[in-house]
């Protein structure tokens, strides 16, 4: 998943989390991306901290898109 992006949009506001170029998620593993204020310690590769995002936020029109390194 190196170079992939997770884009969260709430209404007209968006934020992007970028996986490092060396990030590897093995087959069968899951990953949780925590907001900075979640009070959870990072434990890669399964628990990552979104340092620039204090909260996942709320709203009626919430979208999260995962794009690979080719933008697909």
Say whether pLDDT at 58 is over 90: no
Say whether pLDDT at 4 is over 90: yes
Say whether pLDDT at 68 is over 90: yes
Can you tell me whether residue 38 is helix, strand or coil?
helix
For the chain, domain boundaries: 5-67
Of 36, 4, 34, nearest in space to 22 by CA: 4
The model's pTM: 0.84
What CA–CA distance (Å, rounded) separates 68 from 56? 21
User: pLDDT grade, residue 59 (50/70/90)?
Assistant: confident
CATH class of the domain at 5-67: mainly beta
Sign, CA dihedral 10-37-35-32, equals negative
pLDDT in tens, 21-35: 999 999 999 999 999
Q: Is 19 exposed, middle or buried (0-12, 13-18, 19+ CB in 10 A)?
A: buried
pLDDT value, residue 28: 94
């Amino acid at each position: 998943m190196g170079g992939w992006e997770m884009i969260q949009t709430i209404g007209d506001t968006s934020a992007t989390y970028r996986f490092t170029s060396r990030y590897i998620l093995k087959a069968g593993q899951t990953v949780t991306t925590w907001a900075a204020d979640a009070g959870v310690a990072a434990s890669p590769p399964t628990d990552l901290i979104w340092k620039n995002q204090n909260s996942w936020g709320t709203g009626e029109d919430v979208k999260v898109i995962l794009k690979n390194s080719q933008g697909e």
